[in-house]
Amino acid sequence: MGCHRVQESLLSSASGYSNYRGVLNWCVVMLVLSNARLFLENLIKYGVLVDPIQVISLILRDPHSWPSPGLLLASNIFILAALALERHLAAGSISEGVGVALHTLNLASVLCFPAGTVLLLPSITPVGAVFTLTTYTIIFLKLFSFRDVNKWCRERKKDLKPPQKNHGDNSVTAKKANGAVGTSEVTYPANLTYRNLYYFLFAPTLCYELNFPRSPRVRKRFLLRRLFEMLFFIQLLVGLIQQWMVPTIQNSMKPFRDMDYSRIIERLLKLAVPNHLIWLIFFYWFFHSCLNVVAEVMQFGDREFYRDWWNSESVTYFWQNWNIPVHKWCLRHFYKPMLKRGASKWAAQAAVFLASAFFHEYLVSIPLKMFRLWAFMGMAAQIPLAWFVSKFLRGNYGNAAVWMSLIIGQPIAVLMYVHDYYVLNYEGSP
């Protein structure tokens, strides 16, 4: 009886075989072992460098002149100004044109006021400045959305013909059908209250709605798990930065000064591993642990803070799925309005990348008090990279290109900024 038949070798693409789970496990084991060796080498060479007190002193240095908390409290001025403007617009006491001008001035102040304060006051530490400017950037995006949605409500109210009660009744019915908490739905302009606005400002979203989907209760076990993750991963992040990143960056300064390109590339590749690991841990810590804690406490129902960006086969797919709150804001308040004004999809997409590049640079250059545009150029470079990957790479090749850009691109920017900051502040000093 014959024991042979026509068939392809298992590793041939024509065989149709696709179960490579064992190979994936092997890659994970090899990754763990190789990084364990690097970490052990780091411990032998530098000893234990983890020092939580050093981090606290970095943040709270000279606390009597540390104005970052004052800046955070001052943000309420711009928040209350936005609410007052919307109330006047709802009452018809100011025209839409005046409202647009005043909102624009208020939003510009949200970005300019903290930036000017950070640049003028040397007592603000870079860490405090990053936290403050990030908070103000979030407030800017939220108030922008708050203004747009209320404007749309006014336009819709003008277009609606009486009786208008049918729209509200339908909304309440749909809300109950979707399983929302049994609270009455807010309609415009009843939403213009301190409670409504501040709920939105603390909610884990950048896109304003009059009525957010709400979860029925606070799940205590879920909340405790996320809180434990928050505490554990923030300590792990600090430890990895002190133990692994800082020595590698410090050892990279001499090759940069000597312009030793082979050593620069070697340091870049050495930095890529801990930098990428820290970025992955930060992603989980912030987008899963932190945002879920905030959402659970506030009973905020929409928990889609990220999608499967790790399967990205194009650069565009990655940026659309790794940070859903920002993506939704860009789509709703930037991309679609540009399309409505007649811009092409490519131009609107490029504009979104450039706007993102501006905010990346804003959050790096101002705290460091130096303007090098590395973050801006890194984000702007995503435009040709997105075109190249979508044009020439598909499937696994596209996914590999996305991973390569994440693993290599970030440490390049880190080294450039650290080098320039070192030259500007420490080189030549006794």
Asked if 208 contacts 145 with a C-beta cutoff of 8 angstroms, the reply is yes
Residues 6+ apart with CB under 8 A from 300: 203, 204, 205, 212, 213, 214, 215, 294
Give dist(CA 410, CA 395) in Å, integer: 23
pLDDT at 259 over 70: yes
pLDDT at 253 over 80: no
For the chain, give the percent of residues with pLDDT over 70: 88
Asked if 301 contacts 291 with a C-beta cutoff of 8 angstroms, the reply is no
Q: Which two tokens stand for residue 303?
A: 């928990």
Instruction: Output the pLDDT for position 60.
Output: 60
pLDDT at 31 over 70: yes
How does residue 56 score in pLDDT terms, banded at 50, 70 and 90? low
Instruction: Output the pLDDT for position 53.
Output: 66
How does residue 21 score in pLDDT terms, banded at 50, 70 and 90? confident
Task: Name the least confident of 117-121, 175-179, 220-224.
Answer: 175-179
- Of 34, 430, 56, residue with least CA distance to 242: 56
Looking at residue 294, its amino acid is V
CB atoms within 10 A of CB 272: 20
pLDDT at 258 over 80: no
Give dist(CA 337, CA 334) in Å, integer: 6
How does residue 15 score in pLDDT terms, banded at 50, 70 and 90? confident
In the block, tokens 């996914």 appear at 399
How does residue 63 score in pLDDT terms, banded at 50, 70 and 90? low
Based on the number of CB atoms within 10 Å of its own CB, is 161 exposed (0-12), middle (13-18) or buried (19 or more)? exposed
Which residue in 327, 333, 360, 419 is the catalytic one? Answer: 360
pLDDT at 261 over 80: no
Instruction: Output the pLDDT for position 178.
Output: 38
How does residue 161 score in pLDDT terms, banded at 50, 70 and 90? low
pLDDT at 52 over 90: no
Which carries the bigger pLDDT value, residue 305 or residue 51? 305
198 in helix, strand or coil? helix
Instruction: Output the pLDDT for position 246.
Output: 79
For residue 266, the number of C-alpha atoms closer than 13 Å in the C-beta half-sphere is: 10
How does residue 266 score in pLDDT terms, banded at 50, 70 and 90? confident
pLDDT at 175 over 80: no
Give dist(CA 395, CA 285) in Å, integer: 29
Give dist(CA 80, CA 373) in Å, integer: 33
Which carries the bigger pLDDT value, residue 327 or residue 409? 327
Q: Which two tokens stand for residue 30?
A: 């090899």
The alpha carbon of residue 144 and the mean position of all alpha carbons in its chain are separated, in whole angstroms, by 17
Instruction: Output the pLDDT for position 150.
Output: 94
Instruction: Output the pLDDT for position 173.
Output: 38
CB atoms within 10 A of CB 371: 12
pLDDT at 348 over 70: yes
pLDDT at 167 over 50: no
Omega cis (within 30) before 163: yes
Give dist(CA 72, CA 131) in Å, integer: 9
Q: Which of 60-69, 105-114, 348-357 has the highest mean pLDDT?
A: 105-114
360 is catalytic: yes
For residue 214, the cross-strand partners are 300
Q: Which of 28-32, 86-90, 245-249, 273-277 has the highest mean pLDDT?
A: 86-90
Angle between helices 194-202 and 68-91 (to 10 degrees): 130
- Of 175, 189, 186, 192, residue with least CA distance to 301: 175
Give dist(CA 320, CA 347) in Å, integer: 16
Asked if 239 contacts 383 with a C-beta cutoff of 8 angstroms, the reply is no
pLDDT at 286 over 90: yes
For the chain, give the percent of residues with pLDDT over 90: 35
Give the chain's mean pLDDT.
Answer: 83
Mean pLDDT, residues 67-71: 79
pLDDT at 168 over 80: no
303-336: per-residue pLDDT in tens? 999 998 998 888 889 999 999 999 999 999 999 9
